[in-house]
Structure 1
Amino acid sequence: MTKTPAATPAAAPDLAAATAMWSDYSQSRRHQDAVDSDYTVEHFGDTAKLADELLQIVLSGTKRATAELVSEFTHRGAPLPRIGSHWIACDGAGVPRIVIRSTQLRIDTFDGADAAFARAEGEDDRTLSSWQIQHRLYWERTSAARGADWSELDEIVFEYFAVVWPPEHAD
C-alpha cells in the first residue's frame, strides 16, 4: 500500500518583500489618511496549494471574507485582527501579493456562520452547507496538527475585508 504524500506547507513569507510592499502602500496613503505600521504577513490556508487557490479567488474579487479559529491566533502568538488592521497576504511560495484591510469583525461559534458570510468567503459553491463541510474538515485538520481537538463551540473570528493594495487589485 502506497502512503499518500503529505501536502506541501506554504512557504514562510518573504518579509523583506512584504516590508517593501507595505512601504509602497504607506507612501500611496500619505496625503489621504494615516496608515499605522501595525500589520501582519501571512497566507490563507495551511498548504501551498490552498494558499494559492484562496488567493486566486480573492484576486478575482469573489472572496471578501475569511474565518479563523481564535485558538489559531493564540497558538501563533498573533493578535486578533481589529477593524482597520491590515495584513499582507502571500501566495503559497511566500511571495507577498496584496494588502488587505479588515472592515468588519465578529467572534462567534461555528453556528454563527450564515449564508451571507459563506457567500462572501467565496469558496466552493458559496453555500452555507459547503462552507460548513469544508471548514469543519479544515479546522479538524489544523487543530489536530497542533495537538488539539476542534469543537463547533470553539470561538471563530469572522472577518470581512477589502483589498487595498496594489492598485490593480484594490477594491
Structure 2
Amino acid sequence: MWPRIDGLRVLELGTPGELRAWLTELTLAGEKTATAGLLPLDYHAEGEEVEHVGERLVLVDDSGARVAGIEITRVRLTPFAAVTWEFAQAEGEGFRSVEHWREVHRRYWEGQGCEVDDGTTVVCLWFRVVDHGL
C-alpha cells in the first residue's frame, strides 16, 4: 500500500536521489505533466487501484516531505508498445522519440525487477500541479 498524507495517496517520482529530485523539479516547473507506472509492479504488487480523473495526490521529495498537490487530469491504460509520442513528450524528460522513451523505461522497470514486454500494461497519468508546498 502506498503512503498517505492527510488521507491522500502519495506520489513519489522515480527512485530516491538524483532521479527523484530532477523529476520533481521538472514537475514544479510545469515541464513534466505526465508520469507512467506499470500495472503489475506499481499497482497490483502494492494493492492499489489506478488513479482516477480529479483525484488529488501529494507529491513528495526524498525525505517524504510534501512539495506539491497534484490533480490527475487524464488516465490511460495501454500496452507498453502502444504508448504514444504525445505521452512521452508530456513526461517532459527530453525523450528524442517514442522508441527512446520505451528504451529508457524498459531499462528502468527491469532495474526495478519487472520484466517488460510489448503487452505489459502501462498506466499513463497526466496531471497538473494544484498547489506548491502545502
Q: TM-score, normalised by structure 1?
A: 0.69
Contact 1:106 1:159 in 2 (8 A): yes
Highest relative contact order (Cα 8 Å, sep 6+), 1 or 2? 2
Q: 1:112 to 1:161 in 2, by over 3 A?
A: same
Which structure is higher in strand share? 2
Q: CA deviation at 1:127?
A: 3.3
Structure 1 CA distance for aligned equivalents of residues 103 and 78 of structure 2: 17
- What SS does structure 2 have at the residue aligned with 1:81? coil
Once the two structures are aligned, what percentage of the paired residues are identical? 28
Q: 1:126 to 1:93 in 2, by over 3 A?
A: farther
Contact 2:33 2:91 in 1 (8 A): yes
Bigger shift: 61-70 or 43-52?
Answer: 43-52
1:56 corresponds to which residue? 25
Where do residues 35-46 of structure 1 align in structure 2 (5 Å cutoff)? Answer: 39-46=8-15
Q: 1:152 to 1:46 in 2, by over 3 A?
A: farther
Q: Which runs of 5+ in 1 are unaligned?
A: 1-11, 20-36
Which among 32, 36, 46 is matched to residue 67 of structure 1?
36
Superposed CA RMSD in Å reads 2.2
Which structure is higher in helix share? 1
Contact 2:88 2:95 in 1 (8 A): no
**Structure label with greater radius of gyration:** 1
Structure 2 CA distance for aligned equivalents of residues 47 and 132 of structure 1: 21
Contact 1:102 1:162 in 2 (8 A): yes
Which among 60, 68, 71 is matched to residue 90 of structure 1?
60
Q: TM-score, normalised by structure 2?
A: 0.87
